Amino acid sequence: MTPDHEPDALREQAPPYAPPPETQRLIDELYRQELREARAMTPQEKLLLGEELFDYACSITMAGIQNQFPEADEVERRRILEQRLALQRKLEGRA
């Protein structure tokens, strides 16, 4: 390993994590099961699950906003959430 004062010291990366084979088999099987379930869903079910996922993500974000701004009331927290969603749309080029 190179000392910290050498410029290449920051370029070193840890080797990628590879789970044990039995764990990888379980991961692969769970993924295949998720694919089978997703393929069996109707478009309406997928749309509803997308809405549920969005609502869940918003609730987690709202909890983070409450933690970051404990003095903010519900109206202010929603305004911050809306700003963050607008920024995300802008970054994706959809605004």
Which pLDDT tens digit goes with each residue over 62-93?
A: 999 999 999 999 999 999 999 999 999 999 99
Instruction: Name the pTM for this structure.
Output: 0.63
Which pLDDT tens digit goes with each residue over 30-63?
A: 999 999 999 999 999 999 999 999 999 999 999 9
- What is the three-class DSSP state of 42? coil
In a domain, 85, yes or no: yes
In a domain, 32, yes or no: no
In a domain, 53, yes or no: yes
> What is the total count of domains within the chain?
1
Return the sign of the alpha-carbon dihedral for residues 61, 65, 70, 74: negative
In a domain, 61, yes or no: yes
In a domain, 15, yes or no: no
The pLDDT value given to residue 12 = 78
Mean pLDDT of 1-6: 57
Segments forming the whole domain that contains residue 77: 43-95
